[in-house]
Amino acid sequence: MEYEEDSSCRVKIIVVGNSNVGKTSLISQYSHFQEDGLPNTNPNLICEAQIKKFSKDDQLVYVDIWDTVGQERFQAISTQYYKRASGAMIVYSIEDQDSFNNILIWIERVQENCPKGCKIMLIGNKADLNAVRSVTYKEGFELSLEYGIQFFEVSAKTGHNITENAMEAQRETCEEDEKLSSSLFSSTTILSSAFFSNISKKKTCKC
């Protein structure tokens, strides 16, 4: 990885969750702001990182987004993967109930192995499969409230909520819950500003 000499901050984000929930596609979509044709990833790699660069308050921030590649299991990921992480994205698929059921285990892994103060975001991927979802938005939202973490539903396939898309597609799913509805429609911030900028506030670099 190459960084400009005058870079003022560098942070590490890890992405965890069950296999086949779309973690690699999510990272690729965010890193490259692509709408289709996501790049292939070498399946033989244990993990790989992609770099995202943005400016915040006249400060250049480099974000290393780390991905586990392959059929990862809870015990298989080295503790080194979690080391020095400023933030963790825990990903499940909205059409895979098992991946959601295992979120608590992933939260525990992150809390046990990441540095104190590591920011956590819960992400429900594959929002484009709303018609066949098995995990409701409300379930994800309520779990995030329980643990005091941020929550978004996204689609790595379409770029929904990863680039500049708002959350309007799920209006009907939360009309019954005023608090839930408020969460959706006040949250027009995209993934980058909501999470990465929040993390960068905690960093006093050069680091």
pLDDT in tens, 129-172: 999 999 999 999 999 999 998 888 988 888 777 754 323 323 33
Look at the pTM and tell me if it is higher than 0.85.
no
Provide mean pLDDT across the span 86-102: 93
3-state secondary structure 20-80: CCCHHHHHHHHHHCCCCCCCCCCCCCCEEEEEEEEEECCEEEEEEEEEECCCCCCCCCCHH
pLDDT at 184 over 70: no
pLDDT of residue 201: 56
Query: Encoding tokens for residue 170?
Result: 């799920």
pLDDT of residue 116: 84
pLDDT, tens digit, 9 for 90 and up, residues 96-141: 999 999 999 999 989 988 888 888 889 999 999 999 999 999 999 9
pLDDT at 195 over 60: no
The answer to whether 13 and 83 are in contact (CB under 8 A) is: no
pLDDT band at 92 (very low <50, low <70, confident <90, very high): very high
Q: Which residues lie below 8 Å from residue 59, measured CB to CB, with a gap of 6+?
A: 8, 9, 200, 205
Q: What is the DSSP string of 117-143?
A: T-EEEEEEE-GGGGGG-SS-HHHHHHH
pLDDT, tens digit, 9 for 90 and up, residues 40-84: 344 334 456 666 666 656 667 677 777 776 545 655 677 777 888
Q: Which H or E run includes 97?
A: helix 97-101
pLDDT of residue 115: 84
pLDDT of residue 64: 76
Q: Which residues lie below 8 Å from residue 60, measured CB to CB, with a gap of 6+?
A: 4, 6, 7, 8, 9, 53
pLDDT, tens digit, 9 for 90 and up, residues 30-51: 666 544 444 434 433 445 666 6
10 Å CB burial of residue 173 (0-12, 13-18, 19+) is: middle
Q: Which residues lie below 8 Å from residue 57, measured CB to CB, with a gap of 6+?
A: none
Provide mean pLDDT across the span 171-193: 40
Domains and CATH numbers, the chain: 9-201 (3.40.50.300)
Provide mean pLDDT across the span 170-184: 39
**Is 66 or 174 the better-scoring residue by pLDDT?**
66
